Structure 1
Amino acid sequence: MTEALFQAARDAATRAYAPYSRFHVGAALLMTDGTIITGANVENASYGLSLCAETVALAKAANDGRLADVVEIAVVGGDGAEPCRPCGRCRQLINEAAQLGKRDILIHCLAGGSDATEQHRLSILLPHAFGPADLGIG
């Protein structure tokens, strides 16, 4: 399943709308039932309005009522040799899914220009995160 998740993230990156940075990112979410939900980054001329691939994929899962079903995430981006890691904003959004699903989501970080990969649990990338539990929810 891991290779299918990686390939789904790579395929998603090809659909990125990144005319300004030319940094194409794809994300793929593995759900509890084995399905995969993808997203790609969407840039905007007003840079602050741009959306990361992880945000797009998580929004699709939330729209389907499945935010709590995320088990693993693969993120691939750019054309360099270093793995692409979720930004701080995306880590916080992933945390929402993790707390709702009561699991420490595994994040696969892939390089767009090489075979380099890393794996991290969300709790390592975002220790002491703020989320629904801090508001007495979930």
Structure 2
Amino acid sequence: MELSQDLLARLLAESLRARDFAHVPYSGYRVGVALLDEQGRIHIGANMENASYPQGWCAEPSALTAMRMAGGQRAVAALVSGPGPEIITPCGGCRQKLREFAVPEELVILAADPGGIRQRWTLAELLPHSFGPSHLNF
């Protein structure tokens, strides 16, 4: 999918804004996601830590939930931002969660930090040979 410079700027701004909502009292590592749905709407999410570590969640499921609650069916782009300087990507579990609501070859994943967009992939590049809804034949 071709994303205009204006849309990329909006996704970056929203992802960085989402980081402000992160609940990270343990790691201090704020992650934000701006998710573009098939209708052109942007949904944001942030990571939420919990004292019982396995009970926390990443930014991507937050954004996916917001997308679904707003009636979105399919993610077409996801811009993930962290504090830098290391490039951040969705973790393995989040890649699988994104897979549930995307076409792997079409979903654009962008990595960013406060300095801007650093890298771009498709979900298929980050999650090759994935397992998805079509495998279940429902």
TM-score by length of structure 1 reads 0.88
Is 1:110 the counterpart of 2:116 in the alignment?
Answer: no
Deviation of 1:75 after TM superposition, in Å, equals: 0.3
Deviation of 1:103 after TM superposition, in Å, equals: 5.8
In structure 2, what is the equivalent of residue 133 of structure 1? 134
Question: Any unmatched runs of 5+ in structure 1?
Answer: none
The question of whether the paired residues in 2 share the 8 Å contact of 1:71 and 1:103 is answered with no
The question of whether the paired residues in 2 share the 8 Å contact of 1:25 and 1:41 is answered with yes
Is 1:98 the counterpart of 2:102 in the alignment?
Answer: yes
The question of whether the paired residues in 1 share the 8 Å contact of 2:105 and 2:123 is answered with no
Q: Any idea what the Cα deviations from partners look like across 1:9-59, whole Å, max 9, x if unmatched?
A: 000001100000100000011122221100111110000011100111011
- The CA distance in 1 between the partners of 2:53 and 2:101, in whole Å, is 25
Deviation of 1:64 after TM superposition, in Å, equals: 3.0
Is 1:60 the counterpart of 2:62 in the alignment?
Answer: no
Is 1:42 the counterpart of 2:48 in the alignment?
Answer: yes
- The CA distance in 2 between the partners of 1:45 and 1:55, in whole Å, is 19
Deviation of 1:116 after TM superposition, in Å, equals: 5.3
Which of residues 70, 82, 98 is equivalent to 2:75?
A: 70
Write out the 4+ residue segments of structure 1 that deviate beyond 3 Å after TM superposition.
none
The question of whether the paired residues in 2 share the 8 Å contact of 1:82 and 1:116 is answered with no
Deviation of 1:61 after TM superposition, in Å, equals: 1.5
Q: State the one-letter code of the partner of 1:81.
A: P
Q: RMSD in angstroms over aligned alpha carbons?
A: 1.6
Question: Any unmatched runs of 5+ in structure 2?
Answer: 1-6
Which of residues 34, 57, 64 is equivalent to 1:28?
A: 34
Is 1:18 the counterpart of 2:20 in the alignment?
Answer: no
Deviation of 1:108 after TM superposition, in Å, equals: 0.4
- The CA distance in 1 between the partners of 2:54 and 2:47, in whole Å, is 13
